[in-house]
């Protein structure tokens, strides 16, 4: 059962325009959380907004964790106003984590924009559990929207950059940058970002024989498998439906399970 707890906000700061990192002290959730899992955050106490907002666990510390988020609408705008020293109510950990494939020759994390959020924790776990340092592809609209580059370099990761306008790294898409790294059958690729980006990354992996795990986003209500508000089309039948729930069957899926044709 996930915990539902008031957590002390230990740090909260803007890290790029409209992007924030919020760290909480919460030993109970931290002790059980794994990279790729998420939590549901109450952005303001009370009934408005009614729904919690799903946020990936960015990094795990001794007795707490951080989330990294982009202000999209009212919920995240309210969240950005919570002060350090106050509390925030969090439900978690939720969902299925990234599998850590120790036998793989290479691990490559491919992030589009704020899709980078779950990868610092994953990179740390890969280093710790496999002894190999993952390669990172960071893609964003422009240089200012590239997040966590310094953190990945500090971990010793090789980082490839791609921007839409060419202001940093190669001008082009995350999937182009991934192709340049020549993934192969011994490679595991993890991706998170906009659905069209992940569809393209899935395509590169299908061509090159790399295994691919995608962390999907969907608008969520319950976050816990009950409301069916977060379903996406699948290629396989699960309980007589060609649908999967992002919150409880995922958010991390083997990319071959997802029907990418509508993205």
Residues contributing to the site for ligand FAD (CB under 6 A): 38, 53-56, 67-70, 72-76, 114, 117, 217-220, 246, 251
Residue 59 · residue 37 · CB < 8 Å: no
The entry of ligand FES, ligand FAD, none near residue 225 (CB within 5 to 8 angstroms by kind) is ligand FES
Residue 211 · residue 188 · CB < 8 Å: yes
Q: Which of residues 166-225 bind ligand FES (CB under 6 A)?
A: 220-223, 225
- Residue (54 or 169) nearer to ligand FAD, CB: 54
Q: Where are the alpha helices (DSSP H) in 116-168?
A: 119-130, 149-154
Of positions 137, 189, 230, 258, contacts ligand FES by CB under 6 A: 230
Of positions 104, 247, 252, 258, contacts ligand FES by CB under 6 A: 247
CA-CA distance, 76 to 26, in Å (whole number)?
A: 21
Nearest-approach distance from CB 119 to ligand FES, in angstroms: 23
Collapsing DSSP states into helix, strand and coil, what is residue 131?
coil
- Find the part of the chain contacting ligand FES (CB under 6 A) among 6-14, 41-49, 74-82, 228-236: 228-236
Nearest-approach distance from CB 23 to ligand FAD, in angstroms: 13
Nearest-approach distance from CB 97 to ligand FAD, in angstroms: 12
Q: What is the DSSP letter of 101?
A: -
CA-CA distance, 250 to 126, in Å (whole number)?
A: 20
Distance (Å) of CA 43 to CA 13, 53, 79: 16, 7, 5
- Six token digits for residue 20: 């924030």
* Interacting residues toward ligand FES by CB under 6 A: 220-223, 225-230, 245, 247
């Amino acid at each position: 059962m996930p915990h539902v707890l008031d957590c002390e906000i230990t740090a909260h700061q803007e890290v790029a325009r409209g992007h924030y990192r919020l760290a909480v002290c919460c030993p109970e959730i931290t002790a059980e959380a794994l990279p790729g899992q998420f939590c549901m955050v109450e952005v303001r106490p009370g009934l408005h907004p009614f729904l919690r907002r799903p946020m990936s666990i960015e990094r795990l510390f001794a007795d707490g964790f951080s989330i990294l988020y982009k202000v999209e609408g009212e919920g995240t705008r309210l969240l950005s106003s919570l002060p350090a020293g106050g509390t925030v109510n969090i439900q978690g950990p939720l969902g299925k984590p990234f599998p850590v494939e120790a036998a793989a020759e290479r691990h490559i994390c491919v992030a589009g924009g704020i899709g980078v959020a779950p990868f610092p924790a994953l990179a740390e776990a890969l280093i710790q559990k496999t002894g190999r340092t993952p390669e990172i592809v960071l893609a964003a609209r422009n240089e200012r929207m590239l997040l966590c580059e310094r953190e990945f370099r500090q971990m010793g990761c090789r980082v490839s950059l791609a921007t839409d306008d060419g202001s940093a790294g190669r001008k082009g898409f995350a999937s182009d940058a991934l192709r340049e790294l020549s993934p192969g059958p011994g490679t595991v690729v993890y991706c998170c970002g906009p659905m069209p980006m992940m569809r393209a990354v899935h395509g590169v992996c299908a061509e090159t024989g790399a295994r691919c795990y995608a962390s999907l986003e969907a608008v969520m209500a319950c976050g816990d498998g009950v409301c069916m508000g977060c379903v996406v089309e699948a290629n396989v039948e699960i309980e007589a439906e060609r649908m999967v729930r992002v919150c409880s069957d995922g958010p991390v899926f083997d990319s071959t399970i997802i029907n990418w044709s509508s993205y």
